[in-house]
Structure 1
Amino acid sequence: MEPLRTENLRPLDVSENLWDRIFTVAPLVIIGTVEGNSYDLAPKHMATPLGFGNYFGFVCTPRHCTYRNIEKSGEFTVSFPKPDQVVETSLSATPRSGCSDKATDVLQNLSVLQATTVKAPVIAGAYLYLECELFRIIEGFDDYGLITGKIRAAHVDKDYLKVSEVDEREQLMKNPLLAYIAQGRYAKISETFNFPFPKDFKK
């Protein structure tokens, strides 16, 4: 095995934050939590399914109300917005001074709905909704933790449901996905290609 050729590479200082210096592609979701007698919504991009069972996780910090709300309530929702909901997604990130400050202002500007099995809200018009009960919080990533949930209920827009008789390329062209390009950009994904899996590949 030959060594890595570094002529065209630039080393990054790993004592500093790498993720502000490179582009990465991530989903963009909105986490909904209950906050006393009100609600909170917050966008997250460090978010992913966990394994092939019905688990979902995202990175958050105890400095954010989302983290503390989930610790108290033991539940949260995940809304996957469509590309035309970028403004709504941005509004859910409105800064505030305390955990109860943002909820009223955000709810006045966003169309929200009540989830079916948890008390937290979801945003109207998203293509996928997950309703989760807290599984566990894994701390220790500096000031951040991985919040994981067991999916209790899920609902998908029928136009985004994978069905064998529909061509996936055409389906995604008509119904694109929203992606976050860290840090600070987004993309509308409509052009996709079959991945060249090796023969007899199994997940």
Structure 2
Amino acid sequence: MIPPISQKWVPLDTDRPIWSRFFMIAPLAVVGTREADGYDLAPKHMITPMGFENYIGFVCTPAHGTYQNIEVRGEFTMSFPMADQVLISSLTASPRQSGISKMEQIIDALPTCRAAEVDALFLEQSYLMLECKHFRTIDGFGGNSLITGTILHAYVHPDYLRVSEQDEQQLLHEHPLLAYVAEGRFSRVAETYHFPFPKGFNR
């Protein structure tokens, strides 16, 4: 007989959001969009590939400019910052001030570059940059939505490119990944191990 869960585990009240009661590892990306007064950049950490094809998704709220811009323009970029770009990434979350655009207030001062096909910006020197066409938005997760996109173009920094003859641990040791530790912390991932998949495992 399988025993019930041990009483030493702490039950959480699911009548309210549980996410601030523990830590979780998440990627961090800066989403770029075009808006009426220029361009917008905003950090997101609720990000995931949508399966094994070239689709990606992230959580946003309809109240944010990112959501509204994608609804209007139908496209966006995603920049995955290097581990030493934490401060720059954080600045993209600066609140808008009345009477001055976010472009003038923040984004003009940041290191950016234009995407090739999508009318939006990248955070320059990110290790991975994606140009995406809006695929589908699913509303209704409380006050939040899942925005998904088809990846049209992808660019990876040469230091982060995986090649068959390379020592992957050495690659990550020399070029760590930036991880967001939700909520409110971050880490540099430099030490990793092979996952012990069982014999015969097939995704």
Fold similarity call, TM over 0.5: yes
Counterpart secondary structure, 1:11: coil
The number of aligned residues is: 203
Q: Which residue of 2 aligns with 1:107?
A: 107
User: Would the aligned equivalents of 1:23 and 1:183 in 2 still touch at CA under 8 Å?
Assistant: yes
* 1:115-146 deviation line (CA, Å, top 9, x unaligned): 01101000111000000000000111011100
Counterpart AA for 1:153: H
Deviation at 1:100, TM superposition (A): 6.8
Counterpart AA for 1:141: F
Unaligned runs of 5+ in 2: none
Counterpart secondary structure, 2:21: coil
Deviation at 1:2, TM superposition (A): 1.8
Q: Which residue of 1 aligns with 2:130?
A: 130
- Do residues 165 (structure 1) and 165 (structure 2) align? yes
> CA, structure 1 residues 99+15, in 2 after alignment: closer, same or farther (shift >3 Å)?
farther
Counterpart AA for 1:161: L
Question: How far apart are the structure 2 equivalents of 1:4 and 1:115?
Answer: 53
Q: Which residue of 2 aligns with 1:71?
A: 71
- Do residues 28 (structure 1) and 28 (structure 2) align? yes
Counterpart AA for 1:2: I
> CA, structure 1 residues 98+3, in 2 after alignment: closer, same or farther (shift >3 Å)?
farther
Give the alignment of 1:41-120 within 5 angstroms. 41-97=41-97, 101-120=101-120
Counterpart secondary structure, 1:140: strand
Counterpart AA for 2:47: A
Q: Where in structure 1 do 4 or more consecutive aligned residues deviate above 2 Å?
A: 3-7, 97-101
User: Would the aligned equivalents of 2:37 and 2:103 in 1 still touch at CA under 8 Å?
Assistant: no
RMSD, aligned α-carbons: 1.4
Question: How far apart are the structure 2 equivalents of 1:80 and 1:99?
Answer: 30
Deviation at 1:5, TM superposition (A): 3.0
Deviation at 1:20, TM superposition (A): 1.1
Counterpart secondary structure, 1:20: helix
Counterpart secondary structure, 1:48: strand
Q: Which residue of 2 aligns with 1:8?
A: 8
Counterpart secondary structure, 1:181: strand
Deviation at 1:7, TM superposition (A): 2.5
Deviation at 1:98, TM superposition (A): 6.3
TM-score calculated relative to the size of structure 2: 0.96
Counterpart AA for 1:76: F
Counterpart secondary structure, 1:130: strand
Counterpart AA for 2:41: L
Counterpart secondary structure, 2:19: coil
Unaligned runs of 5+ in 1: none
Q: Which residue of 1 aligns with 2:139?
A: 139
> CA, structure 1 residues 84+2, in 2 after alignment: closer, same or farther (shift >3 Å)?
same
Deviation at 1:104, TM superposition (A): 1.6
Question: How far apart are the structure 2 equivalents of 1:177 and 1:133?
Answer: 25
Counterpart AA for 2:5: R
Deviation at 1:21, TM superposition (A): 1.0
Question: How far apart are the structure 1 equivalents of 2:16 and 2:121?
Answer: 36
User: Would the aligned equivalents of 1:114 and 1:121 in 2 still touch at CA under 8 Å?
Assistant: yes
